[in-house]
């Protein structure tokens, strides 16, 4: 199986492909917009010249075949590294683990559209930074505040993991008592599959700043150089995640049932890794970009009874489970985000923006 094949296996990879071709062809973007609006379970209201209405007789109508045909006519040679980067930011930004996939994700999964995206995926492989790249010791962490307000790099993961384990077990027991088993019921709660409180790093500062799921729109950030090594587990495929869940299972059926049903449409029993036990074997776990694109926001079968979801974990992110990561001997850097743009600029303490 090729990298292009892997990109099309997961919702995030398909969205990457669809966003890339839509960025270089207005016919594709228009077709995706209108079909996506029709298929989106939460389409909202379109703003039109004469007011807000849910539908209008003269709205264009597009089919699955129309979108596929438009993709087939697009000049894929126009997809550049910058366009692929913007599309990667888009697919991360639109990852949802607490509601149904949005209209564009639905369109990208349609059989004819998915087949048309094969050529797009093949075009993306040489212009994307290596999505299969493994962990490297030079890493970067981010705090969403000014340098003067930033704190020390987390050095007590064992205590955090112990607390997280207690809280997860209590939440699961409470959910079994208080929440209905009907997955359609209007309940929501924790949807993450890994402790977000732990130190998380990326191999590139811009990835740490831009490729953030469920962003809160931060305007300033402190970027911290981190070096770490040890026993690093690589999550490259859904099979790697499934194996981790089988080896260190923690059941979260009651606490994740309603959210993950909306995301995947699967009504069954759910597992995530028991991270406190994982830490006895591994110092850190790295999710490759390709692992994220092929496996996040989808059901991953563990066995005949259980499934899981990689949720709340960005591409090329490393989560540190033990105290082996150290802040590097270089100054922390202040970064500023341009207003209403996902563009970050570093600032030098003496000269200002670089």
Q: Judging by DSSP bridges, how do beta strands 317-320 and 200-202 pair with one another?
A: antiparallel
Q: Does the structure show a pLDDT above 50 at 50?
A: no
What is the DSSP-derived secondary structure letter of residue 344?
E
Nearest Cα to 279, choosing from 187, 159, 193? 159
Reported confidence tier of residue 57, pLDDT bands at 50, 70, 90: low
- As a whole number of angstroms, the distance between CA 10 and CA 292 comes to 8
Q: Does the structure show a pLDDT above 50 at 155?
A: yes
Q: Write the pLDDT tens digit of every residue in 66-120.
A: 999 999 999 999 999 999 999 999 999 999 999 999 999 999 999 999 999 999 9
Q: In this structure, are residues 249 and 307 in contact, taking their beta carbons and an 8 Å threshold?
A: no
CA distances 153 to 22, 150, 233, Å, are: 40, 9, 21
What are the φ and ψ backbone dihedral angles of 325, each rounded to 5 degrees? -90, 140
Three-state DSSP at 230 gives coil
Across the range 331-338, mean pLDDT stands at 94
Q: Write the pLDDT tens digit of every residue in 181-237.
A: 999 999 999 999 999 999 999 999 999 999 999 888 899 999 999 999 999 999 999
Specify the pLDDT at position 146: 96
- Residue ranges per domain, the chain? 3-127, 138-348
- As a whole number of angstroms, the distance between CA 203 and CA 93 comes to 19
Specify the pLDDT at position 55: 53
What is the DSSP-derived secondary structure letter of residue 209?
H
Reported confidence tier of residue 54, pLDDT bands at 50, 70, 90: low
Half-sphere exposure of 113 (CA within 13 A, CB side): 26
What dihedral do alpha carbons 171, 173, 179, 182 form, nearest 10°? 110
Specify the pLDDT at position 352: 45
Q: Write the pLDDT tens digit of every residue in 24-36.
A: 999 999 999 999 9
Instruction: State the sign of the Cα–Cα–Cα–Cα dihedral 328, 330, 331, 332.
Output: negative
Nearest Cα to 306, choosing from 237, 246, 241, 262? 246
- As a whole number of angstroms, the distance between CA 43 and CA 148 comes to 42
Across the range 165-182, mean pLDDT stands at 97
DSSP letters for 10-54: SHHHHHHHHHHHHHH-HHHHHHHHHHHHHH-SS---EEETTEEES
Long-range contacts of 86-90 (CB under 8 A, 24+ apart): 86/19, 86/23, 87/15, 87/16, 87/17, 87/19, 87/20, 87/23, 88/16, 88/128, 88/211, 88/315, 89/210, 89/211, 89/342, 90/15, 90/16, 90/19
What is the DSSP-derived secondary structure letter of residue 296?
B
What are the φ and ψ backbone dihedral angles of 330, each rounded to 5 degrees? -150, 155
Specify the pLDDT at position 42: 87
Across the range 138-161, mean pLDDT stands at 94
Whole-model pTM?
0.94
């Amino acid at each position: 199986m090729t990298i292009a094949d892997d990109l099309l296996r997961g919702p995030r990879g398909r969205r990457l492909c669809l966003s890339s071709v839509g960025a270089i062809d207005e016919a594709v973007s228009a077709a995706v917009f209108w079909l996506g609006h029709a298929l989106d379970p939460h389409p909202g209201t379109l703003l039109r010249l004469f007011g807000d209405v849910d539908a209008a007789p003269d709205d264009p109508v597009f089919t699955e075949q129309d979108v596929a045909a438009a993709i087939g006519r697009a000049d894929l040679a126009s997809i550049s590294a910058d366009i692929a980067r913007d599309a990667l930011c888009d697919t991360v930004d639109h990852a949802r683990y607490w509601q149904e996939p949005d209209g564009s994700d639905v369109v990208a999964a349609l059989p004819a559209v998915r087949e048309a995206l094969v050529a797009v995926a093949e075009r993306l492989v040489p212009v994307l930074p290596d999505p299969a790249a493994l962990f490297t010791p030079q890493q970067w962490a981010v705090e969403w505040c000014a340098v003067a307000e930033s704190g020390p790099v987390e050095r007590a993961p064992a205590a955090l993991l112990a607390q997280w384990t207690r809280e997860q077990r209590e939440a699961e027991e409470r959910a079994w008592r208080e929440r209905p088993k009907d997955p359609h019921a209007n309940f929501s709660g924790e949807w993450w599959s890994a402790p977000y409180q732990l130190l998380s790093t990326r191999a590139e500062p811009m990835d740490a700043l831009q490729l953030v799921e469920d962003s809160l729109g931060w305007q300033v950030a402190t970027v911290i150089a981190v070096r770490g090594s040890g026993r690093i587990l690589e999550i490259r495929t859904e099979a790697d995640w499934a194996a981790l869940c089988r080896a260190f299972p923690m059941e979260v059926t009651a606490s994740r049932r309603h959210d993950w049903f909306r995301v995947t449409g699967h009504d069954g029993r759910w597992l995530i890794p028991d991270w406190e036990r994982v830490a006895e074997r591994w110092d850190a776990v790295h999710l490759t970009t390709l692992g994220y694109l092929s496996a996040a926001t989808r059901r991953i079968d563990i066995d005949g009874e259980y499934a899981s979801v990689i949720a709340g974990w960005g591409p090329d992110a490393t989560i540190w489970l033990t105290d082996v990561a150290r802040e590097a001997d270089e100054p922390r850097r202040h970064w500023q985000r341009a207003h209403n743009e996902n563009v970050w600029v570093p600032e030098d303490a003496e000269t200002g923006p670089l």
